[in-house]
A and B are shown apart, each in its own frame.
Chain A
Amino acid sequence: MHDLSVHAAPHHAPPTSFIRKHIFSLDHKVIGKQYYGLALAAAFIGMFLSWLMRIHLAWNSAAIPGLQLLSSTGAPGGVMTPEYYLQLMTMHGTIMVFFVLTTAPFAAFGNYFLPIQVGAEDMPFPHFNMMSFWVTFAAFLVLMSSFFVGDGPTLGGWTQYAPLNAIGSVGGPGQGAGVVLWAISIALFCIGQLLGALNFITTTLDLRVKGMSLMRLPLSAWGWFITSCMGLTAFAVLMPACILVILDHVAGTSFFVASGLVLNDQMLPHSGGSTLLWQHLFWFFGHPEVYIAIVPGIGVVSHILLANMRRPMLSQRTLIYSMGALAILSYMVYGHHMFVSGMNPFSSLAFSFPTLVITIPSTIVVLIWTFSLYGSKLRINSASLFALGFISMFVSGGVSGFFLAQPSIDIMLHATYFVVGHFHLVMGVAAMFGIFGGTYFWFPKVTGRMMNETLGKLHFWLSFVGAYCIFMPFHYLGMAGNVRRYSSFVDDFLQPLIPVHRFITVAALVTGAAQLIFLYNLFHSRFRGEPASDNPWQATSLEWSTATPPPFDNFGGKHPVVYHDPFQYGVQSSVGDYVMQASPEMVKTEFEEK
């Protein structure tokens, strides 16, 4: 085992100015917190947008008081127009997928804890790291600015299909400047994440401290590492795709617009472009993106479960290989978003097989978790409840994937609420549960205080039951043929389904309100929470062996030496039923990895 960290680690002096300490900080911990703050703000904005959407769907002609202040053309007298519904929906999806589900599990937690978990002082490129946050923040501002320009944000969905995304404002409100701002925002976001991925990969490979072999990395570190490898290749494809869209708007190109198209009785000036090219580029990114959203959660949940089961996983290696398999397979399945898109139907069959096969590593992960619970000494607290909730949600969301993986069944389910239910369970709930679990678990290390357990448990119960009440019925709607992305339900066959939508809306409002409990708990505990010890969970990984909060260089000038893997629970040591990774104490372990 080698220790490059002493030589490779950047030794930047501790910051002294307010700006360097809190704003343009090179410290990965500050950057992690900044990402968390960004994701938190984005999540509440995204959730608020979903409330507006759900209210409109349930009570279509109702005036929402004050909505006209957000947009007088989009909601005259507070009544939402069809285009404004689509604009809000597009922003909801874009904000949530990019600025919450990629930012929080990966950029926020990963930035804060990956260097510490490998034993490093910081990431190897702190200036790139700082840039990655500020570029991401700029991307967010650019996206939000689209609410306030011209005819508002783009209405084409977070997937921005061509040629609607490339023909300009003749396609509808928001399709001119709105699309260009969306594309600039996402291109910037890609740059931010690429800079981050560079840091994550090099931290994991080069900065591990003495004794920290790859197999001794905590599962959360593996989650962030594998995710950053996916990010490098996926974002590198989305960024040029966004640039091509911008060129179609401003440079007279026709990458995505075919010849001979007519709108408002006028021939469009474009020629030679390909509608499906956008879909291939987008989904080549888009499918790995959803694994980028979930793999950190898989790592974090494994990490939380370990500390709360007080025993090793049945096989850590299997979990690592499964996460790796998910990452590799994620590149081979993207065409399952395009089964009925007009691409060669043989391709549809070809994509369906790896999509079905990806069930296998997903199942293995769930089996390892579940059967590691067997014979454990499970502790129930807010963090472990969200981890257990993650397992349940991941199963529910994954099982609906079974249907969507098959082209013949997709004929009936494509573009229905079944798909919306599927991805909300895995991303909107499971990945969020990973974020919540990580917050309750690591809050004591970041702030030195515990979060309130009663409020945490209340937050869990309302979210767990509420999320099932919202998203399980989406599947029933889909099976009945309820098409997605409709601002109103005017078709005959949709009328009997409107009461289901009303039930969902009420559930969404209640569950959303429950998130305010979390927000309150976060801020209240920051200032008034019960003081926490350095290792309140009696956990083993390196972040728990340093001070709280960790000093500027993480380990106070000392370089830890690692003697154990992170799975030494259920043993008898001088401190209890566990041995920390950095502890030189040798104990008898019954479950050593072979």
Chain B
Amino acid sequence: MAKLFAITLVVIAIVSAIPILRHTWAAPEDISTHGALIDEQMSETMAEAGISFLAAQFILAFFVWKFSNPGPDAKIKRFPGGAKGLVIAALLVVGIEVMALGIFGVKAWANVYLTPPSADALPIQVQAGQFAFYFRYPGPDGKFGGLHPELINEGTQNIFGLDPEHDVAARDDIVTAELAIPVNKEVHLLMHSKDVGHSFFVRELRVQQDFVPGLDVSLHFTATKVGKYEIVCTQLCGLGHYNMKAYLEVMSQPDFDNWLKQQAGQ
């Protein structure tokens, strides 16, 4: 039975590793300027985690195979170096490994979260609410009108609670159910929640950020490839959480300008 355990463990470890090595189920292609560092961090971590995983399972299997059901003359043996060597190895090898990963990972994180958006980034407001995302562009005047939650009325399609009657800046604001952005131009999302917690996740963009009721959260990125991508909610927000999504359309600048004009006309 010990040998069966050892064999089973080795088979499980190898079978588990196969889909990783073959990239059977992997993240989609990165279409962002900041994603390469994240992907690199992921690969390095996968290599180190993978080696640790396989080594630990194989050694466990080997020892169970070799040291069970001993014969009558078998003697207890102490692993050379005892605990001291192992503790030092753990402190040094694992310690250096995790610190290196931590330190090298700072830049990947900082690029997204600790750098301010550039001054000419395209500002777009995002409002998340049970169970849809809506987006607001500032319009030709370049200014967002004020938000008045008490005016929100989905029946009359006043999603953001704008007051165009009294607020000049709000009159040309463009509200859409789809997020269109120009390719290779930095976008600055200004995110708020209408009701409960939600989250914004676009796998290809390598971004995920929660909406926090009561806070305005900022997120910036640049998309590098034209295409249509899914935005999904990842913070449990109620019964419609599974269905809360929108599309991100990355377009050429001329196409984006046309799209915006069309949306404004509506």
Contacts and interface: CB of A to CB of B under 8 A. Distances in A.
B68 interface: yes
A357 interface: yes
B82 A479 contact: no
A interface, size bucket: 35 or more
B249 to A, nearest CB: 14
Interface in A69-90: 81-83, 86
Nearest to A478: B25
B25 A476 contact: yes
Contacts of A359: 94, 98
- Residue from the set A274, A481, A486, A489 with the largest chain B CB neighbour count within 10 Å: A481
A81 B239 contact: yes
Nearest to B111: A408
Nearest to A344: B113
B239 A315 contact: no
Interface in B53-109: 53, 56-57, 59-60, 63-64, 67-70, 74-79, 82-84, 86-87, 89-91, 94-95, 98-99, 101-102, 105-106, 108-109
A265 interface: yes
A340 interface: yes
B197 A360 contact: no
B250 to A, nearest CB: 16
Pick the most buried of A155, A402, A490: most chain B CB atoms within 10 A of its CB. A402
B239 A356 contact: no
B217 interface: yes
A86 B242 CA distance: 10
A258 B203 CA distance: 30
A257 B46 CA distance: 40
B100 to A, nearest CB: 10
Given A161-B235, A380-B1, A483 B201 contact: yes
Interface in A350-398: 352-353, 356-357, 359-360, 363-364, 366-368, 370-380, 385, 388, 391-392, 395-396
Given A173-B239, A261-B195, A314-B82, A373 B149 contact: no
Given A167-B196, A275-B197, A392-B57, A357 B152 contact: no
B155 interface: yes
Given A265-B155, A490-B242, A164 B214 contact: no
A493 interface: yes
B176 to A, nearest CB: 20
Nearest to B41: A408
Given A360-B91, A476-B24, A479-B27, A396 B1 contact: no
A391 B20 CA distance: 22
B242 A82 contact: yes
B156 to A, nearest CB: 9
Interface string B27-55: 11000000001100110011011001100
Contact of A367 (B89, B102, B161): B89
Contact of A375 (B77, B199, B212, B234): B77
A576 interface: no
B196 A163 contact: yes
A497 B42 contact: no
Contacts of B25: 476-477, 479-480, 497, 500
Contacts of B41: 406, 408-409
Interface stretch (B5-13, B167-175, B180-188): B5-13
Interface string A250-267: 000000011111110101
A385 B5 contact: yes
B245 interface: yes
A261 B149 contact: yes
A526 interface: no
Interface string A178-206: 00000000000000000000000000000
Contact of A408 (B28, B37, B67, B203): B37
Given A364-B86, A367-B89, A399-B49, 18 more contacts: A164-B238, A167-B195, A171-B238, A258-B215, A261-B149, A275-B212, A340-B199, A342-B212, A356-B98, A380-B69, A399-B52, A406-B41, A408-B108, A412-B42, A415-B199, A415-B234, A464-B8, A481-B201
Q: Which 8 A-B pairs have the closest CB atoms?
A: A258-B214, A375-B77, A315-B83, A408-B108, A345-B113, A342-B212, A356-B98, A415-B234
21 contacts: A163-B195, A171-B238, A258-B215, A261-B193, A314-B83, A315-B87, A340-B208, A348-B109, A359-B98, A366-B56, A371-B83, A402-B49, A402-B52, A402-B98, A407-B109, A408-B109, A415-B234, A415-B235, A457-B1, A464-B8, A484-B234
